[in-house]
């Protein structure tokens, strides 16, 4: 394969990796923020439950104080009733006693309801605290992983960008600018392999026989007549992650190219 074409193929693979790295570097801090925001929500919920439980206990203590006060009043009214002189006064005191006894019963019912609420609140809080402890460990792990991944990505990105600069210097400026233009307008894909012997793998338009033979020769830079992408022949080429693609076996590639060329005997 022509050296410039080889550089363009590598450049394309590199640009796909760079695009993914940039997207991941951009995404990771947002993911971390999301994880931390969810944890903060759960912490806030636990804190709200703790406050509700404390409020419940405070309210019960206040009601117990109220009951003591009601009892004191009742005993005061009862001792007064021993000294009253008229029936009306006695009745009035009796009415006060009954009213405060009723208040005690009401308050006791409220305390009972609060005790029941406190039990379920306490159970819920214990469960929330348990799951929060698990979540904290998990979040710490996830955040550390995301940060390490981002640092690793940034290192890779730097190396890939350096390699990109090296490749750029080995490509004629007009060709490089055309590559960059196609890359921009064709959503990041400017160099693609041909498929089915004569099709652009991106826009699927059939090429003319002469262009096919040029692509198969690997010696000329051929652009797709339809989408303007640079075309190349690779036996099993898949544009994608540069690191995931095994290096091309030159012998196998040569054989595949010859086989493909033999399908165009008239050229």
Residue 224 interacts with Zn ion (CB under 5 A)? yes
Which of 32, 97, 182, 200 binds Zn ion (CB under 5 A)? It is: 200
Residue 36, phi-psi category: left (phi > 0), alpha (psi -120 to 50), beta (remainder): alpha
Cβ within 8 Å of residue 21, ≥6 positions away: 153, 156, 157, 160
> Residue 195 or residue 203: which is nearer to Zn ion going by CB?
203
Residues binding Zn ion: number (CB under 5 A): 6
**Strand locations in the chain (E):** 191-195, 199-200, 222-223, 230-232
- The verdict on 207 binding Zn ion (CB under 5 A) reads no
The binder of Zn ion chosen from 14, 203, 256, 261 (CB under 5 A):
203
Q: Is 194 in the site for Zn ion (CB under 5 A)?
A: no
Q: How far is the CB of 259 from Zn ion (least distance, A)?
A: 23
Distances (CA, A) of 254 to 6, 7, 53, 260: 14, 18, 77, 10
Q: Which residue, 171 or 211, has its beta carbon nearer to Zn ion?
A: 211
Q: How far is the CB of 203 from Zn ion (least distance, A)?
A: 3
Cβ–Cβ < 8 Å for 42, 188 = no
CB of 192 to Zn ion, least distance (A): 7
Interface with Zn ion includes 146 (CB under 5 A)? Answer: no
For residue 199, list its beta bridge partners.
Answer: 195, 206
Residues that bind Zn ion (CB under 5 A): 200, 202-203, 224, 226-227
């Amino acid at each position: 394969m022509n050296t410039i074409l080889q550089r363009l193929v590598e450049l394309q693979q590199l640009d796909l990796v760079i695009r993914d790295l940039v997207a991941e570097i951009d995404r990771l801090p947002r993911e971390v923020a999301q994880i931390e925001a969810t944890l903060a929500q759960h912490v806030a919920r636990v804190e709200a439950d703790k406050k509700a439980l404390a409020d419940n206990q405070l309210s019960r203590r206040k009601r117990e104080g109220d009951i003591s006060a009601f009892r004191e009043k009742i005993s005061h009214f009862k001792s007064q009733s021993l000294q009253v002189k008229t029936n009306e006064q006695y009745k009035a005191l009796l009415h006060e006693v009954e009213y405060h006894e009723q208040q005690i019963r009401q308050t006791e019912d409220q305390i009972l309801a609060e005790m029941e609420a406190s039990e379920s609140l306490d159970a819920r809080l214990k469960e929330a605290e348990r799951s929060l402890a698990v979540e904290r460990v998990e979040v710490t792990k996830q955040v550390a992983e995301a940060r390490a991944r981002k640092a690793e990505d940034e290192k890779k990105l730097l190396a890939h960008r350096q390699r990109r600069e090296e490749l750029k210097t080995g490509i004629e400026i007009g060709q490089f600018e055309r590559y960059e233009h196609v890359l921009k307008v064709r959503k990041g894909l400017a160099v693609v392999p041909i498929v089915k012997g004569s099709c652009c793998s991106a826009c699927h338009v059939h090429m003319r026989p002469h262009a096919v033979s040029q692509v198969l020769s690997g010696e000329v830079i051929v652009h797709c007549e339809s989408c303007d992408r640079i075309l190349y022949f690779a036996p099993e080429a898949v544009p994608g992650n540069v690191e995931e693609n095994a290096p091309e076996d030159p012998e196998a590639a040569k054989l595949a190219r010859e086989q493909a060329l033999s399908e165009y005997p008239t050229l």
